[in-house]
Amino acid sequence: MKFFIDTADLAEIRDLAATGLVDGVTTNPSLVAKTGRDFLEVVREICALVPGPVSAEVTATEHAMMLAEGRKLAKLARNVAIKVPLTPDGLKTCRALANEGTMVNVTLCFSAAQALLAAKAGASFVSPFVGRLDDVGTDGMSLIRDIVQIYRNYPGLKTEVLVASIRHPIHVVEAAKLGAHVGTLPPSVLRQMFQHPLTDKGLAAFLADWAKTGQSILGETKAAAE
């Protein structure tokens, strides 16, 4: 499973990319607005930090303007994926950009029927929002199960399932068990995945035992260091 991080915070991206765990980045106008910086500059800088796909969202809602915005964003870097909403105009734009060789991430997917339309329109990624479905009393992960099953039935569909609106590590694990291709995680959720109380307890015990030896792997004893 590929991990994208859902942020426009360059410091967070730089730090997490250094772990080797980040395969891409997703952004949206709301995330970029939090930076207080120029949208195009932020996207360009993120693309330089991460070699994988970087989703940049159009803000228009009508096809001709969406296409114009998408083409402009695609020129920022080779790894830009244009993010369009799952609307008729969004899918028209998806088809046009895909035909030009541009990656497209179709976002705001809330049903398997919508996901099938996105795949037929040539989307590189479709983004079902599991957390938002959970918020309204629907099982978001059941949608992931349905989309993965449908796509597997038709090998000609090359769209990857990009699980979005992830709220906690369990969402990530369940999506991976179902065979989703990508999860886009807020930085806080990716950091939570490192954590387990038994890891902390075990490390503390190891360090306590090591301290008793008075040794240093780098060759200095405590006495010498003093």
Where do the domains of the chain lie?
2-195
Is 2-195 a CATH 2.60.40.10 domain?
no
Active site (catalytic) residues: 83
Residue 111 Cα distances to 5, 54, 61, 145, angstroms: 23, 24, 20, 11
pLDDT digits (tens, 9 = 90+) for 8-32: 999 999 999 999 999 999 998 889 9
pTM: 0.92
Q: Is 125 helix (H, G, I), strand (E, B) or coil?
A: strand
How would you write 8-69 as a 3-class SS string?
A: CCHHHHHHHHCCCCCCEEECCHHHHHHHCCCHHHHHHHHHHHCCCCEEEECCCCCHHHHHHH
Q: In this model, does residue 226 exceed pLDDT 90?
A: no
Structure tokens at 157: 């569909």
pLDDT, residue 47, reads: 97
pLDDT digits (tens, 9 = 90+) for 77-96: 999 999 999 999 999 999 99
pLDDT band at 222 (very low <50, low <70, confident <90, very high): low
